[in-house]
Amino acid sequence: MKILFVLPLLFHAGSTVRYTLKFLIAGTSGLHDFPEFMGVVMINEVQFGYCDSNTKTAKPSQDWSRQFVKDHPDQLLLYTQECLSWPRSFRGHIHHLKEVLNQSEGVHILQHLFGCEWDDESEETDGFDRYGYDGEDLLTLDMKTMTWTVPKLHMTPSALGWKTDETVVKWKKKSSISMCLVFLEKYVQYAGSFLQRTDLPTVSLLQKSPSSPVSCFATGFFPDRAVMFWRKDGEELFKNQRDLLPNHDGSFQMSVDLNISLVKTEDWRRYECVFQLSGVKEDIVTKLEKTAIRSNHVSGSGFPTGRVTGVIVGLLLLSVCIAGLFIWRKNNNGFQLVHRDQGALEVDAELQ
């Protein structure tokens, strides 16, 4: 069984003038032939750059971020220095957590998500700082009370080895958010047009076998503010939309399933898949038709593997496609163990 560790999708604003800068850092223990440390910088869910303990250097991921570091080489040097210094800290945290939680050998993952958000119209700003361990929420910093909370463990933050002194926490908030906002504003100057674009998706109907649900799969769209659903006779059916996933080119993909075993053949014409993208008036509607379904159980059906495979390549470049890791899920704003068949990558693996 493979489990994915994809980037968190936590903040979705109704306006294109709201920006989020996120730093996602992960340390691993017990994973062989895999980086002990990884770091990803994201702006509005698009990867700015990446580094890990194997490469030992930070690398920009987009044309605009490459231009930024070309104009600001000190920024690339700063991220590279952070990439070299963080592994020791994470190694110590994981070692301490294993002792406190009475854990033996095995695979363990510590994740740290922090950053800021900024509305350049209202000038409202905010920050966030949280940790996850082995697929569960570990610690969250309450920005209002300036205290660490432990959502699921019956332990205090200090017992886990975290500094809880209010003065230290306030300094951490002020310094980290202030610096984050400075970076974010600079990045927006380079990425503004890229982030404010609108790309419509390619929509396909996919099916693994004649008894499998039909998956309506949309890929290549931007921004990430989108919904998909099936409807019958114009009425929306119960949503079973899968998690939204990033493509390697900065666009996104998602899918929604329909159990056709409950649908009579003569009723197929009554069903259609609807994709709605924020800021676009026209919906993309795909009717349920047998001739439109692509599957590998029929020779020559032509399953569109290009974009989905691109997702795998993109995730590998991010070093986040890891056997045994976890998804920080958008829908519950926290860490949760999620099986591989909840993502579009399962379709790619089984239909090629």
Q: How far is CA 151 from CA 8, 132, 169, 278, in A?
A: 18, 10, 18, 33
What residue ranges define each of the domains in the chain, with the CATH number in brackets? 18-195 (3.30.500.10), 202-351 (2.60.40.10)
DSSP result, 227-293: EEEEEETTEEPPP-BPPPEE-TTS-EEEEEEE-GGGS-GGGGGGEEEEEEETT--S-EEEE--GGGE
The pLDDT tens digits for 291-312 are: 899 986 544 444 444 343 333 3
Which DSSP symbol is given to 200?
Answer: P
pLDDT in tens, 29-70: 888 878 889 999 999 888 899 999 888 899 999 999 999 999
Q: What pLDDT does 122 receive? A: 78
* Helix, strand, coil share of the chain (percent; to 5): 30, 30, 40
Q: How far apart are CA 26 and CA 339, in angstroms?
A: 19
Q: What is the per-residue pLDDT across 322-340, written as a single tens digit (0 to 9) for each?
A: 333 333 443 344 544 333 3
